[in-house]
Amino acid sequence: MEIKRKTIAVDMDGVIADTITHFINWYERDFGVRIPIESFHGKPEHEGLPGGAVRRFVYTPGFFRTVPVMKGAREALTELSKSFDIYIVSAAMEFPQSLIEKYEWLKENFSFITWKNIVFCGDKSIIGTDYMIDDHVKNLDLCKGKTFMFTAGHNAGIDTHTRVNNWEEVVTLLKQEL
Amino acid sequence: MEIKRKTIAVDMDGVIADTITHFINWYERDFGVRIPIESFHGKPEHEGLPGGAVRRFVYTPGFFRTVPVMKGAREALTELSKSFDIYIVSAAMEFPQSLIEKYEWLKENFSFITWKNIVFCGDKSIIGTDYMIDDHVKNLDLCKGKTFMFTAGHNAGIDTHTRVNNWEEVVTLLKQEL
């Protein structure tokens, strides 16, 4: 009998893509000032850089194509994909110019994820996976499955979902589900 | 008390986008021969045109951007969106060049569907809507909700899902679900 593998929806920005480091790097490149990561703590993400730079960057061609991979994400998804069906689920539709960039970024950095397992959406309310890993509470709140909140400055202090601080913790917790 | 509206996943190609007519038109434009629609009957869609033209067209930039709207689709979705939450769910990831074209096509032709309600995916197995309207059995088979099979040449003779022959029939059947 075929045993159906459990499914995991994995977010991109702030989870497998280190967008915060990318914001800080681009800001330094453009303005010569290195904003400390603490600037993103306890507030909406778009307020993390001065002068509305976050919003400008996310609409700039090339931003999503060149974001660094989150530490440990590749190793963790390689490991988890042995036991789970991994779906990359990104709320990319708000930034249509990012669609092809995100696709190409995944192809380059997560080549073991095939196109069949990539989902670009608007809101995530209709995603029906068993697990969801995301940094945004608004996405996790809509998930019918078990949720893991990946630590980010903007979710500081929130305790309505199981917090994971890094990819090692995600792997440990999900292996307990097997 | 807020009553949660039921959700419908609506496919694009062959359902709200008349890809078959577009295939026939492009073939006539390129080769001066008008292939009858019956050529698509009872076989996989990509065998509907001679010489592998279907596969060539779907990888050609501009194909998805210029496809005609399926007869009655706009009126039907306008009507249904009064009572249901409509999500456009397209297995677009196989053709990454189509992502931005499909987004722009929707913006032009279905402007009342916002980016929040657009989903581009690979397989549709993790889509958790209450209803799904699709012409491909492989998508409908994976849906946990109620399914409607939109008539297409390639699904001739299949009776494992509720068949709908046009958008008027979809509206009639879905209104009975309210």
Closest B-chain CA to A132: B126
A89-98 pLDDT, tens per residue? 999 999 999 9
Q: Where do we find the tokens 């009507």?
A: B79
> B167 CB near a chain A CB, below 8 Å?
no
pLDDT in tens, A74-125: 999 999 999 999 999 999 999 999 999 999 999 999 999 999 999 999 999 9
B41-45 long-range CB contacts below 8 Å, 24 or more apart? Answer: B41/B153, B41/B156, B42/B153, B42/B154, B42/B156, B42/B157, B43/B153, B43/B154, B44/B154, B45/B14, B45/B20, B45/B152, B45/B153, B45/B154
Candidate from A100, A118, A123 with C-beta closest to B116: A123
Q: Could you give the ipTM of this predicted complex?
A: 0.93
pLDDT of residue B1 exceeding 70: no
Question: Which positions in chain A touch B145 (Cβ < 8 Å)?
Answer: none
Which residues in chain B are closer than 8 Å to A87, comparing Cβ atoms?
126
For B126, which of A96, A104, A129 is closest by C-beta distance?
A: A129
For residue A95, the chain B residue with the least C-alpha distance is B115
pLDDT score of B4: 85
Domains identified in chain B and CATH numbers: 7-18+68-175 (3.40.50.1000), 19-64 (no CATH)
Encode pLDDT of B6-63 as tens digits: 999 999 999 999 999 999 999 999 999 999 999 999 999 999 999 999 999 999 999 9
Asked if B129 is an interface residue toward chain A (Cβ–Cβ < 8 A), one would say: yes
Q: Is B13 a catalytic residue?
A: yes
Residue appearing with tokens 């491909």: B136
Contacts of B116 in chain A (CB under 8 A): 93, 122-123
User: Which of B115, A152, B42, B125 has its CA nearest to residue A140?
Assistant: A152
pLDDT at res. B71? 98
Active site positions of A, annotated: 11, 13
Q: Count, in order, helices (H) and strands (E) of chain A.
A: 6, 6
For residue B3, the model assigns a pLDDT of 73
Q: What is the pLDDT of residue A4?
A: 85
Mean pLDDT of B103-131: 96
* Predicted local distance difference test score (pLDDT) of residue B14: 98
B90 CB-contact burial (10 Å; exposed 0-12 / middle 13-18 / buried 19+): buried
Whether A1 shows a pLDDT value over 80: the answer reads no
Using the Cβ of B123 and the Cβ atoms of chain A, whether some distance falls under 8 Å is answered with: yes
What does the mean pLDDT of chain B come to?
96
Tell me the pTM. 0.94
Output the pLDDT for position B115. Answer: 96
- When CB atoms are compared, the residue of A100, A115, A144 closest to B128 is A144
Residues A17-28: what's their mean pLDDT?
Answer: 98
Q: Quick check: B93 and A115 CB within 8 A?
A: yes
Interface size between A and B, measured as CB pairs under 8 A: 83
* Residue A22 host element (H or E): helix A19-31
- CA B85 to chain A, closest CA, distance in angstroms equals 10
Q: Is B97 on the interface with A (CB under 8 A)?
A: yes
Residues of B in contact with A121 (CB under 8 A): 118-121
How many of the other CB atoms lie within 10 Å of CB of B93? 22
